[in-house]
Structure 1
Amino acid sequence: MKRGDRDWLDCSASISRHPVRGSSYLPVVQFVAAMISCGKHSAGVTVMFRKIVSLTSLLSFIITLFTSVVLYITPHGRVAYWADWSFLGLDKTQWGDIHITVGLLFCIASLLHIWLNWKPIMAYMKNRARELVVMTTPMIFSLFLVAVVTAGTLMHVQPMQAVLDFGETIKENQTTTLGNPPYGHAELSPLRVFCAHMGFDLEQSMHILKETGYTEKLDPSTKLVDLAHANGVTPQHVYLALRDAFSGGDAFKALPPSAPEGTGKMTLQALGTAYDLPMQEMLRRLTVAGLEATPEMTLKQIAQKYATSPKKVFETLRGDNR
């Protein structure tokens, strides 16, 4: 066994013989502190500690990067929970939890990496005369780059805005595909509350769901999400079963009583796709109400053009203004 490896094992054994009691975080703090202390007296331990810090930084960075991409393309929370969205077997909450905890590990490892490489970092901030100068050319360029990206994001400047718009486009497309809840966190509403909010008769709704095959946990007090999971479907499926039954085949009547969150950002084309609405009839209803529009326009754009609100445009499509 190499001398460095033997020193490392001796140091690790010493730490394990003196555990810290109390908070679950203390052993981790003690371990890091002890490794630093051991490293002062053993070159082998220092090298091993550097390797662990570097590899931990690398691996946690890869996972954090991957979870960042996943969260970038995930549907909006209201859609993800409504449609039981998952990726690689994990839902939106689980991906977020991994991102936070592994991201924290990456931050800690990065701080240790900076500490271990403090001398080289200081060397980057010295001029040719080996004098410490904080505002060196590399530092100025780095600060400028970070400032531009930060300010550009807040000011909606390209190309930062393009990155945000692309992510929003992905999320809105998934809203069209997966469906939008009729109101915020509708899946958490008991069946009784959900039916009252949607204007569905409770007794008739119970009968419809029973006939459809959703018999497990079928009770007015059961939350929609629990009812759906008990029957192996998503809350969206339960809602569609009720919506289609009560709409009587009228696609416009099947629209929610009020515009769901995020509807204003949807184009007429996307709204029509989401609710199976014929585009010609959508345009006709808007024209009759004095709202000329094209399939590519969002409800918000139509509302701004005619000094009204997206809610009014939605109500016009639903037929509430006829």
Structure 2
Amino acid sequence: MNMRKITSMTMVWSLIVLVFNSIVLYVVPEGRIANWADWRFWGLDKHDWSAQHTTVGFLFIFAAMLHIYYNWKPILNYMKDKAKKFKVFTAASSIGLGLTVIFVVGTYLDVPPMSTIVEFSEQIKEGAAQKYGDPPYGQAQSSSLKGFTSRMGLDLKRSMELLRDAGIEVTDDKEMVQDIAERSGNTPQQIYDIIKPAGISPAAPGADTHSEDGADKAMNPPKSGMGKKTITQLCEEIGQDCDMIIAGLKQRGMTIDPEQKLKDLAAENGTGPMQIYEAMVEIVNENKGQ
């Protein structure tokens, strides 16, 4: 086998995939909206496209390094002047470097045409927000129906009745909104639209509805990146006894490693990060009077 040819063709094919991935990621909605709307393209969600972009990018880099190795002499020839003397900044090299610097600095300074490219992507993403709807709070789709209705000030019983009337049977109020949406062929936004009439209480969105069953404001979930935090970090952020919470989670049948990321713990326990957080809220409330 000719490694030069294999290397060159690997670069070509991986570049084609990278270009296509880049176009998809250029127009994909923001993460919170993509998750809320269950956005997919060719059956892949935003995380899938991002992961693919990363792995294929590594393949391209590896192939590019091999390409440089196999073509080192021709590259050195590009860096020689007419007198055949080695010169880093030949005309071709200087133009290539100049174009690269212009795009890097131009993007940083937010000047056209670089700023136009970025702004156009933002306009597409803003359009997606209007089309699919913005989640009422971060990781809303990962909340249980009970936690979601509590946080949004909706009556749980009435919400379940509205879903039943829409042909969506829910027997467990701890089922994630996203799971309810998936098995019924809807998006989380559509589920929310169905239960919106469920008697919005005075504690409407934005009020003290961040937790279930009246948990206090100290238990408001982190604004972002909750799935990347450990149980220990979360306990420190909300100012609660970590040992008490871990014991309570274990009593609920969960396998808990306090130094493991919440999203990994959720995957191991067949649940979602928000549901684990809701369980933490319940544990704190249960121990308030003790």
TM-score bracket for this pair, using the shorter chain length: 0.5 to 0.7
Q: How does 1:65-214 map to 2 (within 5 A)?
A: 65-214=19-168
Residue 186 of structure 2: which of 229, 233, 251 is its match?
233
1:245 Cα shift?
Answer: 4.5
Please tell me the root mean square deviation across aligned C-alpha atoms, in Å. 2.1
Aligned equivalents of 2:196, 2:22: Cα separation in 1: 36
Aligned equivalents of 2:199, 2:73: Cα separation in 1: 72
**Structure 2 residue ranges without an equivalent (≥5):** 208-222, 224-290
Q: Contact between 2:146 and 2:156, CA under 8 Å: does it hold in 1?
A: yes
Aligned equivalents of 2:206, 2:91: Cα separation in 1: 57
**Structure 1 segments of 4+ aligned residues over 4 angstroms from their partners:** none
Q: Contact between 1:218 and 1:227, CA under 8 Å: does it hold in 2?
A: no
What SS does structure 2 have at the residue aligned with 1:135? Answer: coil
Summarize the Cα distance change of 1:92–1:210 in structure 2 as closer, same or farther, 3 Å threshold: same
Give a deviation string over 1:16-55, Cα, whole Å, max 9, x none. Answer: xxxxxxxxxxxxxxxxxxxxxxxxxxxxxxxx11111111
> Larger relative CO (CA 8 A, sep 6+): 1 or 2?
2
Q: Contact between 1:74 and 1:92, CA under 8 Å: does it hold in 2?
A: yes
What is the letter of the counterpart of residue 75 of structure 2? Answer: I
Aligned equivalents of 1:128, 1:66: Cα separation in 2: 39
Aligned equivalents of 2:134, 2:114: Cα separation in 1: 27
Aligned equivalents of 1:244, 1:169: Cα separation in 2: 31
**Alignment-derived partner of residue 34 in structure 1:** none
What is the letter of the counterpart of residue 111 of structure 2? Answer: V
1:154 Cα shift?
Answer: 1.0
Aligned equivalents of 1:137, 1:125: Cα separation in 2: 9
Indicate the larger mover: 237-246 or 67-76: 237-246
**Structure 1 residue ranges without an equivalent (≥5):** 1-7, 9-47, 248-252, 262-322
Percent identity among equivalent residues?
42
1:169 Cα shift?
Answer: 0.5
Q: Contact between 2:155 and 2:198, CA under 8 Å: does it hold in 1?
A: no
Question: Could you tell me the TM-score, scaled by structure 1's length?
Answer: 0.61
Give a deviation string over 1:214-270, Cα, whole Å, max 9, x none. Answer: 10x5422111101111222111111000114546xxxxx9xx7249x9xxxxxxxxx
What SS does structure 2 have at the residue aligned with 1:90? Answer: coil
**Alignment-derived partner of residue 210 in structure 2:** none
**Alignment-derived partner of residue 242 in structure 1:** 195
What is the letter of the counterpart of residue 121 of structure 2? Answer: G
Give a deviation string over 1:110-140, Cα, whole Å, max 9, x none. Answer: 1111111111110011112211111222222
Residue 53 of structure 1: which of 7, 11, 18 is its match?
7
Q: Contact between 2:154 and 2:198, CA under 8 Å: does it hold in 1?
A: no
1:166 Cα shift?
Answer: 0.3
Give a deviation string over 1:155-210, Cα, whole Å, max 9, x none. Answer: 11111000000001111111111111111110011111111111111222222222
Q: Contact between 1:186 and 1:194, CA under 8 Å: does it hold in 2?
A: yes
What SS does structure 1 have at the residue aligned with 2:168? Answer: coil
Q: Contact between 1:225 and 1:235, CA under 8 Å: does it hold in 2?
A: yes
Give a deviation string over 1:53-99, Cα, whole Å, max 9, x none. Answer: 11111011001100100110111111111111111222111111211
Question: Could you tell me the TM-score, scaled by structure 2's length?
Answer: 0.67
